[in-house]
Structures are given as C-alpha cells and as structure tokens.
C-alpha cells in the first residue's frame, strides 16, 4: 500500500496557494487577475476587440508575479530586483488602464460592452494604483532598513 502520511507535490502547491491568497499581496494579485479576466470578457463581447490586448498582457503579468511570489522564487532568483520590477509592472498597468478605459468610456456610445469594459478598466486602474502604492511603501521601508547601521560593538 502507498504511504498516505507524506504529502504530494500538488497538495503542497495548493497549500501554498491557500496561504498566499490570504496575504495582502496575494489578495491584490488575485484581484488583478480576476478584474483583468472580466475586462477581457467585456472587450471580447464588444465590437472593438483590440482593447483586450492590454487586459491580456496585464493578466499574464499578474499571473507570473503571483506564481513567483507564491512559490518564493523571488528569494531564489536574487539577480532580479523583484520589488522594483513589480513596482514598474503595477505602475505602468495603472497608467495604461486609465488611458485605455477613458478612451473606451468616451468612444463607446453605442457599444455597451465597451463601456462596461472601460468602467471595469477604471476599477482595475484603481486596484493597480493601490498595488503600486503598497509596493512603494515596501520599497521605502526596505531603504530605511538598508541604510541603518548594523555594526556590532
């Protein structure tokens, strides 16, 4: 018989997923993935489907960073500064969502799916802006810790 006391790798990943989604960063990234998926669906139902490229890219980037932070790969690959990379990802996403969403809301007079995608895009812009702000606070706090002297007497 198989030994049932040892956990499988899949169960370990599911447990890491449960734990990470309960953190603030995990919840923000999960919300970014969900709102981007909703925006993709709205733009796909619209006559103008070209606006969905931004939502697809941002959803993929959010999934990649979710997996990296969930599996603690950011601590293994120290060549990349993950905090700054995530800061630029969220900041650029917020700016692009604001621009694209305003265009969709103002130009979607007869296309209700485009207007809905624009409204959800504005919500996504707020979410990405909040993510940028929280990352900025982390960067600011790590700078204060790094500049403190650690000399032992």
Does the CA dihedral 116-50-63-83 come out positive or negative?
A: negative
Tell me whether residue 66 is exposed, middle or buried, using C-beta atoms within 10 angstroms of its C-beta: 0 to 12, 13 to 18, 19 or more. Answer: buried
* CA gap 55, 47 in Å, rounded: 16
Check whether 11 has a pLDDT greater than 80. Answer: no
Tokens of 142: 């790590």
How do residues 44-94 score in pLDDT, each as one tens digit? 998 877 889 999 999 999 999 999 999 999 999 889 999 999 999 999 999
CA 143 vs. chain centroid, Å, equals: 23
Residue 55: exposed, middle, or buried by beta-carbon count in 10 A (0-12, 13-18, 19+)? buried
Whole-number Cα distances in Å, 82 to 124, 133, 152: 22, 15, 30
The pLDDT confidence band at residue 108, using thresholds 50, 70 and 90, is confident
Q: Is residue 6 predicted with pLDDT exceeding 80?
A: no
Q: How far apart are CA 5 and CA 17, in angstroms?
A: 21
């Amino acid at each position: 018989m198989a030994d049932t006391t040892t956990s499988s790798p899949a169960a370990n990943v599911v447990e890491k997923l449960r734990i990470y989604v309960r953190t603030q960063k995990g919840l923000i990234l999960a919300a970014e993935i969900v709102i981007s998926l909703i925006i993709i669906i709205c733009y796909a139902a619209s006559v103008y489907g070209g606006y969905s490229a931004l939502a697809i890219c941002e959803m993929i980037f959010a999934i990649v960073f979710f997996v990296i932070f969930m599996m603690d790969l950011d601590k293994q690959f120290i060549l990349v500064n993950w905090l700054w990379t995530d800061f630029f990802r969220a900041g650029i996403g917020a700016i692009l969502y604001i621009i694209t969403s305003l265009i969709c809301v103002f130009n979607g007079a007869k296309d209700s799916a485009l207007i809905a995608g624009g409204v959800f895009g504005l919500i996504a812009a707020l979410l990405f802006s909040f993510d940028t702000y929280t990352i900025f606070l982390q960067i600011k706090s790590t700078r204060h810790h790094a500049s403190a002297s650690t000399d032992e007497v």
